[in-house]
Amino acid sequence: MQIMKDSPGRAESEALMRRCIALARIAQARGESPVGAVIVRNGEVVAEGIEAGKSAQDVTRHAEVEAISAARKVLGTSDLSDCLLVTTHEPCILCSYVIRHHHIPVVVFGVAVGEIGGYNSELAVLKDRTVKRWGEPPEVIGGVLEEECCTLCHE
């Protein structure tokens, strides 16, 4: 993976991931899948998301989508091309579409999710170059605090 000049460094990525892990623990305590996400702009967390699909009975209420929705409200724009997203789990196909739609250029995740992943699966939306309106695929940095993120699923 190519590192962009605006990508977070290792220490920053880990600090942001620790916040995502804390959010994932909140989701887990609520009976949700343990996923937490943040949107960062200019080094500052501008929005957070906690998995809410089960409690809301809405499959679209993934932590990443919740964080993106909150960021749109806080920033007053749907163009998030100056932001990055950090999440405990590889964004799924649904979340990956939302990421691409909002032009988020950097995605950092902890643990891969297999066949439903938007980066590592056969349906790699985060790598797609065929939808021209999306522009260039985002830089994706995986495996940040992977062990800690994986542990969430087994607690």
Residue 93's identity, in one-letter code, is: I
Residue 32's identity, in one-letter code, is: E
Q: What is the largest CA-CA distance in the chain?
A: 41
Beta strand extents in the chain (DSSP E only): 36-41, 44-50, 83-89, 106-111, 139-141
Strands across the sheet with 44-50, in order? 44-50, 36-41, 83-89, 106-111, 139-141
Alpha-carbon span 24 to 144, nearest angstrom: 15
Catalytic-labelled residue, pool 64, 66, 90, 139: 64
Pairing of strands 106-111, 139-141: parallel
Is 64 known to be catalytic?
yes
Q: What are the catalytic residues?
A: 64
